[in-house]
Amino acid sequence: MIKIDENGFYGDFGGAYIPEMLYPNIEELKENYEQIMASESFKTEFDSLLKDYVGRPTPLFHAQRLSEKYGVKIYLKREDLCHTGAHKINNTVGQIILAKRLNKKRIIAETGAGQHGVATATVCALMGMECTVYMGAVDMERQKPNVERMRILGATVVPANSGSKTLKDATNEAMRQWINNPVDTHYIIGSVVGPHPYPEMVARFQSVISAEIKAQLLEKEGRDSPDIVIACVGGGSNAAGAFYHYYNDEKVRLVAVEAAGLGVTSGKSAATTQLGKPGILHGSKTLLMQTEDGQVVEPHSISAGLDYPGIGPVHAHLFASGRGEFLAVEDEDAMIAGIELSRLEGIIPAIESAHALSALNQLKYKASDIIVINLSGRGDKDLETYIKWGNY
């Protein structure tokens, strides 16, 4: 049974390991978010923005040529068609409405590749709220177009210059700025990570993905559950959304695909479940890539969105309990899968999502299976990486 307990733990993982300075913020959120989310007016506003602004429901597309190639029926959940190009906006729409109802005046966020930053800057523009996004200085350099997108949308982008200057450090910096501005500021975390209640709250905003899959599959196949759901996992928000309504439906295989980088044993990898052990980062206990002294290790993936040394606590629990199947896909194989989908279906996927596609090569399945792959984002932001890779 996948269920969060009152202290914010999924099995052994989760909790709220935060400095006391953040305790009032986290308590305020914990005490209010369920009630706010359950209110009719919230649901109405959230659903209406998802429909008319984000463009939901996103299609569940039967990818015929891909299906033929792999000898199994494959559906793609088209999160790449969301406004801003990825599933990230489902969560930012939810949290911005929440922030307004908590009377917050400012929004802060962290971002790695820039997708969550863009999704946050977008909803802040929509709601007329001040927005500051923290981004590793290294990531700002390698994701320039997204930095400019955020600026065009009116957000301030602040470089995180500490540590390795990537997502992990951007998250540290956002938490520090929340400590500095505890009263008027809401922190929109972009994945199912962070202190309780963030992992569950973000998963619930993303759960619209599996809610739609159920309805769409019922219409197309006369059954509401596939045999297998596949999604890539960095922190794991798109996977949490795609798995959410199937957590406790044991017939459905939940396949989480991590980034192996240059190879799981290469020292340049982000395959947290294979390389990590239990530890505490960014407010929750989870599986974490770390040295034997407990210092956090820098991950590597060609895809900035999977380049994170931890994993959401719910995924750590899916792994530890055996409910989820965890695979790891190397940089090169993800790129090949990205090109393959482009050629077979006319869809250029985000390199994150290409990891999920490549899992088809490793996975054991029956010809009669129905597989849903969560296509979490589109590849526009990755054109430079595709071009650099060049093998097409």
Partner 1 sequence: MAMNRIEELFKNKEGNILSIYFTAGFPSLNDTMGIMEAIEEAGADIIEIGIPYSDPVADGPTIQESNTVALNNGMTLKILFSQLAELRGKLKIPVILMGYLNPIVQYGMEEFCKKCEEVGVDGLIVPDLPMKQYLESYKGLFETYNLRNTFLISPQTSPDRIREIDRETDGFIYMVSSASITGAKKDVTPEQIAYFERVGDMGLKNPRLIGFGISDKASFSTAAKHAQGAIIGSAFINVLREAKELKKEINTFIKSIKA
Q: How far apart are CA 332 and CA 355, in angstroms?
A: 10
Q: Which stretch binds partner 1 (CB under 8 A): 64-72, 179-187, 204-212, 323-331?
A: 179-187
Q: How far apart are CA 377 and CA 87, in angstroms?
A: 7
Annotated active-site residue in 110, 212, 340, 352: 110
Q: Does 20 bind partner 1 (CB under 8 A)?
A: yes
For the chain, the distance separating the N- and C-terminal CA atoms, rounded to the nearest angstrom, is 44
Q: Does 31 bind partner 1 (CB under 8 A)?
A: no
Closer Cβ to partner 1, 272 or 376, answer by number? 272
Annotated active-site residue in 168, 301, 376, 381: 376
- Residues 6+ positions from 261 with CB-CB distance below 8 Å: 268, 269, 270, 271, 299, 300, 301, 302, 330, 331
* Long-range pairs, 338-344, Cβ under 8 A, ≥24: 338/379, 338/382, 338/386, 339/386, 339/391, 339/392, 340/66, 340/69, 341/63, 341/66, 342/379, 342/392, 344/63, 344/65, 344/66, 344/69
Closer Cβ to partner 1, 226 or 283, answer by number? 283
Burial of residue 323, with CB atoms counted within 10 A of its CB: 0-12 exposed, 13-18 middle, 19 or more buried? middle
CB contact at 8 A, 143 and 168: no
Tell me which of 153, 281, 341, 347 binds partner 1, using CB under 8 A: 281
Nearest distance from C-beta of residue 45 to partner 1, angstroms: 29
Q: Does 199 bind partner 1 (CB under 8 A)?
A: no
Tell me which of 183, 211, 218, 383 binds partner 1, using CB under 8 A: 183
Among this protein's residues, is 376 annotated catalytic?
yes
Tell me which of 55, 154, 163, 263 binds partner 1, using CB under 8 A: 163
Residue 303: how many other CB atoms lie within 10 Å: 27
Closer Cβ to partner 1, 24 or 267, answer by number? 24
Closer Cβ to partner 1, 94 or 195, answer by number? 195
DSSP letter assigned to residue 234: S
Among this protein's residues, is 110 annotated catalytic?
yes
* Binding string, residues 261-280; x marks residues near partner 1 by CB under 8 A: ------------------xx
Q: Which stretch binds partner 1 (CB under 8 A): 114-122, 284-292, 332-340, 380-388?
A: 284-292
Annotated active-site residue in 30, 88, 168, 381: 88
Closer Cβ to partner 1, 75 or 178, answer by number? 178
Among this protein's residues, is 34 annotated catalytic?
no
For tokens 């054109």, the residue is 383
| Structure-token pair, residue 356 | 């999920």
Nearest distance from C-beta of residue 232 to partner 1, angstroms: 24
Tell me which of 288, 327, 334, 363 binds partner 1, using CB under 8 A: 288
Tell me which of 119, 123, 133, 175 binds partner 1, using CB under 8 A: 175
Active site residues: 88, 110, 376
Q: Which residues lie near partner 1 (CB under 8 A)?
A: 7, 15-21, 23-25, 162-163, 168-169, 172, 175-176, 179-183, 279-283, 288, 290, 292-296
